[in-house]
Amino acid sequence: MTFYDEKLQAFRTFLSNRGYRVRMANAAVPDELAAPVTVDFPSSVLGKQSLIAIPDVHISDGSDGDIFLCGDPENATRLTATLGAINEYLDAEAAQGASASVLQLGDWYDVWRAIGQDATQAQFAKIDNVPAYQTLLRLDKELGLAHLIGNHDASFTHALPDRRVADGDRFRFGFGLMQSHGRCFALHGHQVDDLVGVPSPPSDQQAVWLATLAAKYVTSSARSLQNFLDQEGMSVGSALHWLLALVGLNRPDPTPSPRPRKDAPAGFIGSFVERESNEQLVQIAIRACRQLYATPNDLELLVVGHSHKPCISWTHHPNTQKPVIVVDAGSWVQGAAQILFGADDRITVFDIVKN
């Protein structure tokens, strides 16, 4: 049994005890044939260590517009079980003197959908107090989970939820992984959409929030739009105009466009695809590592989220021309439930499903 298999089996046991198992995820590709999201490196990239990464979750206010809960309490139960299994796995690894890390890849909270703008600490209550989220938020604190900052929770740059208010160093735009000194790095992946640290325009935030309100109105028992706005505590004004335009037009997110297949770089084994913005993200990660380390190692692995579509991709390092592997870990939205698991020379994205 390889080091990767040994560590994965240990995690599977903890997860199975909680009623769930892992199933290899597939990337969406045009030919609709299998494209398993797993990659074998020609040599160890993570060392004798294991890495778990949780992609975009988008926890919101528990309403019908909450794309994580998505009207099904099972989605919160599944994430709670997964966090519990991760907690047990980390404890077991620590007891054996082994090294393991866990990271959440950004958009942990969907502040835009819950509030409609970047939030202050007090405003997180709309998310923090949802009954279905109490155990998973407790586990988040217990794990001391590290979070990348995404575009939907950029509020974390200036305010954190009450449970995590003392953990500012665990919320960043980028993280170096596995004490690799710049060889392995993680970004949310939105950095090519907006400048790092610059909040998205208020119009973008309002549009997401109002679309969410429209979804809530469609399922509301309110007899009129005016009654609904009163229940939401909104003034009529321009909000009514926006909401009227959106009601009836709000639809589920479109099925992600398949990504074209891409040949594997020499020495690597996997089903590679063309992921958008690879080159720009790699350049951002390299610049970040230059700020973090006096003499960083050359980047070999970049872990991202943001697209909500799991895949394995690659691009050339702009200086060395060697392959940089880009692993997109997927998401937990619209009923999806994916995690990245890696150890030694292999990384895989799995779906979390019931036993």
192: left (phi over 0), alpha (psi -120 to 50) or beta: alpha
Identify which has the larger pLDDT, 312 or 151. Answer: 312
Mean of pLDDT over the chain: 86
- What integer pLDDT is reported at residue 244 of this predicted model? 47
Instruction: Provide mean pLDDT across the span 109-118.
Output: 79
Is the Cβ–Cβ distance between 327 and 40 less than 8 Å?
no
Question: pTM for this structure?
Answer: 0.83
- What integer pLDDT is reported at residue 207 of this predicted model? 57
Helix (H, G, I), strand (E, B) or coil at 102: strand
Percent of the chain with pLDDT over 70: 79
For the chain, how are helix, strand and coil distributed in percent, rounded to 5? 35, 20, 45
Q: Which of 51-60, 146-155, 176-185 has the lowest mean pLDDT?
A: 146-155
Q: For residue range 254-296, what is the model confidence (pLDDT) as tens digits?
A: 455 899 999 999 999 999 999 998 999 999 889 888 888 889 9
Residues 262-301 as b or e (16 or more Cβ within 10 Å = b): bebbeebebbbbebebbeebbbbbbebbeeeeeebeebbb
Most confident of 43-57, 60-74, 110-124, 180-194: 43-57
Count the neighbouring beta carbons within 10 Å of the beta carbon of residue 117.
15
Q: For residue range 219-258, what is the model confidence (pLDDT) as tens digits?
A: 555 555 556 656 665 554 545 554 444 443 333 344 558 9
Instruction: Provide mean pLDDT across the span 119-135.
Output: 87
CA-based torsion, 209, 169, 57, 342: positive or negative = positive
Percent of the chain with pLDDT over 90: 62
- Nearest C-alpha neighbor of 179 from the set 47, 72, 283: 47
Residue 103 and residue 129: Cα distance in Å, rounded?
23
Is the Cβ–Cβ distance between 210 and 242 less than 8 Å?
yes
- What integer pLDDT is reported at residue 198 of this predicted model? 44
Q: Binning pLDDT at 50, 70 and 90, where does residue 149 land?
A: confident
pLDDT at 297 > cutoff 50: yes
- What integer pLDDT is reported at residue 151 of this predicted model? 82
- What integer pLDDT is reported at residue 248 of this predicted model? 39
Residue 47 and residue 10: Cα distance in Å, rounded?
17
Q: For residue range 164-218, what is the model confidence (pLDDT) as tens digits?
A: 999 988 998 889 998 899 999 999 987 766 433 444 555 555 555 555 565 565 5
